[in-house]
């Protein structure tokens, strides 16, 4: 979970146009929706600084609507320009990487955790003779000088660590597990029907019904015997 001390890197690539980016030709996101998403993140203190990189046709249009502070925007092409692929894989017959992503990755693979390369150096990646498009940037929302912002602030996985001088009391933990004794019950259990129906009677109800029937038969037998004795005595 990010907070107000987190530097967030957002990278997007795919087919796009003026103010939108498509995902696998089925869904799309507009520049206004993306700007509002970053706006909500800023209001909820979900980032400290954001580096947004987009590699698509007319890429800079995706961050023209941004209004939240502390965001750097990098796009592979200007409005009205296409972003081109770098090379094709002959085995599968498709292009596997775009030009800007290829040269940006080539630059980043040389970065170490102690590198002093800045975002100003990163913005010089992929000039027109390599990308065949004009890369674009947006720095007006960012509060720091990009010539002093290290690339490792976003790519070096640098974490802020707070050192506390307070002692934390740790209670002893009992790692022994109590012995469990199995209790064997002498009661017998029967399986119930897995899918009982409304017509299925409970066994207890059946027993009660049988007991009631026996009592009814005995009572009727006694009454018949008394009636027979009375009739015989009258004769």
Q: What are the catalytic residues?
A: 15, 57
10 φ, ψ (degrees, to nearest 5): -120, 120
The angle at the Cα of 103, spanning 156 to 98, to the nearest 5 degrees, equals: 115
**Mind giving me the DSSP string for 102-150?**
HHHHHHHTT--TT---BHHHHTTSS-HHHHSS--EEE-TT--S-GGGSB
Helix then strand then coil, % of the chain, to nearest 5 = 30, 20, 50
Closest CA to 57 of 141, 139, 140, 136: 136
Beta bridge partners of 118: 150
User: In the numeric block, which tokens belong to residue 109?
Assistant: 């693979």
Cα distance between residue 202 and residue 200, in whole Å? 7
């Amino acid at each position: 979970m990010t907070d107000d001390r987190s530097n967030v890197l957002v990278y997007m690539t795919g087919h796009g146009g003026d103010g939108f980016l498509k995902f696998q030709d089925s869904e799309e996101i507009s520049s206004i929706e993306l700007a509002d998403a970053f706006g909500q993140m800023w209001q909820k203190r979900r980032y400290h600084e954001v580096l947004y990189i987009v590699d698509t046709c007319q890429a800079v249009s995706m961050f023209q609507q941004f209004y939240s502070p502390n965001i750097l925007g990098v796009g592979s092409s200007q409005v009205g320009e296409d972003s081109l692929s770098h090379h094709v894989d002959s085995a599968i017959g498709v292009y596997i990487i775009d030009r800007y992503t290829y040269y940006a990755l080539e630059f980043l693979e040389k970065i170490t955790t102690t590198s002093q390369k800045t975002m100003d150096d990163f913005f010089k990646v992929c000039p027109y003779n390599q990308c065949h498009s004009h890369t674009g940037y947006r720095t007006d929302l960012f509060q720091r000088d990009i010539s002093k912002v290290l690339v490792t602030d976003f790519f070096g996985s640098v974490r802020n660590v707070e050192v506390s001088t307070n002692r934390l009391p740790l209670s002893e933990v009992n790692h022994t597990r109590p012995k469990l004794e199995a209790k064997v019950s002498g009661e017998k259990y029967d399986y119930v029907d897995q899918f009982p129906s409304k017509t299925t009677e409970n066994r207890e109800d059946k027993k009660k019904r049988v007991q009631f029937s026996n009592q009814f038969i005995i009572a009727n037998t006694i009454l018949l015997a008394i009636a027979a004795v009375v009739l015989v005595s009258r004769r």
